[in-house]
Structure 1
Amino acid sequence: MLDGFWSRRHFIAAALAAAYARAGAAGPTSIVVVGDSLSAEYGLKRGTGWVALLQKRLAAEKAAVEVVNASISGDTTSGGRSRLPALLAQHHPGVVILELGANDALRGLPLAMTQENLTQMVVASQKAGAKVLVIGQQVPPNYGGDYSARFAAMFDSVAKAHKAALVPFMLKGVADGADPLKLFQADRIHPKEEAHPQILDNIWPELRKLLALRPAKAAA
């Protein structure tokens, strides 16, 4: 009788362990994007920005992952840092995407402050159990060569220091083309709708790794 009891108990334990293993293998179930106007669909129709396109791509990949767009136009790293704890507590994300820093540069804020804010956001996200993807930015040449180089390198430095994933330049293929202005709105700051698929393509490879998604099979 006891042998049967223990057999059933071991069977149940093994089944529970397998269920937990499957849940772990499924990967993160939510992504929180903490960004500025480049992610908040500024000047675009709703549903056409790269974050909305990301949700559609995940659905096409049959990945049960919810994307929470917590981006606010005009936000700085200080604003993102202050908002992050509540977002982590509310959504318990598996992945946090940090797309901030451009407005710090536009406002002439010290690079050291921007770097510290990004660092603390990475650390807080990781302590909450999330993987982090840092989205790199660049500023126009008129900021000066030295400042531009240090600004771009800041994102790489933060990511490497805390073993976070990195997209070196969010607007690659958008802002560095032969005629980049054709992909920007009249303000020359915010990309047009047709540029957002390219932005997602820049972000997707690193995000796919964090989500542990297998590459989609090519059509026969």
Structure 2
Amino acid sequence: MALLMALVALAPAMALAAERKVLVMGDSLSAAYNLAPEQGWVALLGKKLQTSHPGWTVANASISGETTAGGASRIAAELARHRPAVVVIELGANDGLRGLDLAQTRANLERMITAAKQAGARVLLVGMRLPPNYGPQYTQGFERNYAELAKAHGAALLPFLLEPIATEREAFQADNLHPVAEAQPRLRDHVWPALEPLLR
């Protein structure tokens, strides 16, 4: 009887220990911009995890308008708050659209990857691509940042978040930047093959 009571008392702590978390650090593309939060691909990912990987949850720390500098300044606090097993970094689009220095963007992303790994988390780096009007040198350097960082730090890489919908105008809101609700499941399904191996 005493053993049973002890186990009952320990159950909440055991459940907490068993819970594993995916932390998403992103910008408006992950923050469900102009949509209900539950419509975004991150929330949809959380629902998928409930059925496919019981015990896993998602914490969405994405902020619309966020840059890599903002993410780098917040990463330590978010890691301490959520203690994730996996960190998804989806940042850089706002840096690129503003034409910010590529070396600084790279340094900010590297700081986030390093912090996550030092905290014991596995990392999925989610890349972005820029319109060609930014010029080949800048756009190619922008894309190369993600590939080189993932390779250097042993992080998983999804080269382009919007790849499944990039050429479909109807998949985007009026601003032609943010996906509509109907496109969000496709983004979740695009992220899944890169994320799922990190959950094992």
For 2:174 and 2:117, how far apart are their aligned partners in 1? 38
The structure 1 residue matched to 2:148, chosen from 146, 153, 157, is 157
Q: Residue 90 of structure 1 aligns with which residue? A: 81
Q: Quote how far apart the aligned CAs of 1:146 are.
A: 2.2
TM-score (normalised: structure 1)? 0.81
Q: Residue 173 of structure 2 aligns with which residue? A: 185
The letter of the residue matching 1:208 is E
Residues 151-175 of structure 1, C-alpha deviation per residue, up to 9 Å, x if partnerless? 1111111110000000011111111
Q: Residue 53 of structure 1 aligns with which residue? A: 44
Q: Residue 136 of structure 1 aligns with which residue? A: 127
For 1:60 and 1:190, how far apart are their aligned partners in 2? 28
Residues 10-64 of structure 1, C-alpha deviation per residue, up to 9 Å, x if partnerless? xxxxxxxxxxxxx9xx987001100000000101122011000001101121421
Matched, 1:197 2:188: no
For the 8 Å contact 1:174–1:195, the answer to whether it is kept is: yes
Structure 1 gaps, min length 5: 1-22, 213-220
Compare 144-153 and 164-173 and name the one that shifted more: 144-153
Aligned-CA RMSD value: 1.6
Matched, 1:127 2:115: no
Residues 56-81 of structure 1, C-alpha deviation per residue, up to 9 Å, x if partnerless? 10112142111000000000000000
For 1:55 and 1:128, how far apart are their aligned partners in 2? 22
Dislocated runs of 4+, deviation >4 Å? none
For the 8 Å contact 1:28–1:211, the answer to whether it is kept is: no
The letter of the residue matching 1:199 is L
SS at the partner of 1:134?
strand
- 1:23-34 equivalences under 5 Å are 29-34=20-25
For 1:83 and 1:181, how far apart are their aligned partners in 2? 33
For 1:132 and 1:76, how far apart are their aligned partners in 2? 18
Residues 91-144 of structure 1, C-alpha deviation per residue, up to 9 Å, x if partnerless? 110000000000001122100000000011100100000000000100111111
Identity value in percent: 51
Tell me: CA distance 1:54–1:158, structure 2 relative to 1, closer, same or farther (3 Å): same
Structure 2 gaps, min length 5: 1-13
SS at the partner of 2:37?
coil
Q: Residue 138 of structure 2 aligns with which residue? A: 147
Q: Residue 163 of structure 2 aligns with which residue? A: 172
Matched, 1:80 2:75: no
For the 8 Å contact 1:97–1:135, the answer to whether it is kept is: yes
Tell me: CA distance 1:93–1:85, structure 2 relative to 1, closer, same or farther (3 Å): same
Count matched residues: 185
For 1:121 and 1:147, how far apart are their aligned partners in 2? 22
For the 8 Å contact 1:98–1:132, the answer to whether it is kept is: yes
TM-score (normalised: structure 2)? 0.89
The structure 2 residue matched to 1:208, chosen from 184, 196, 199, is 196
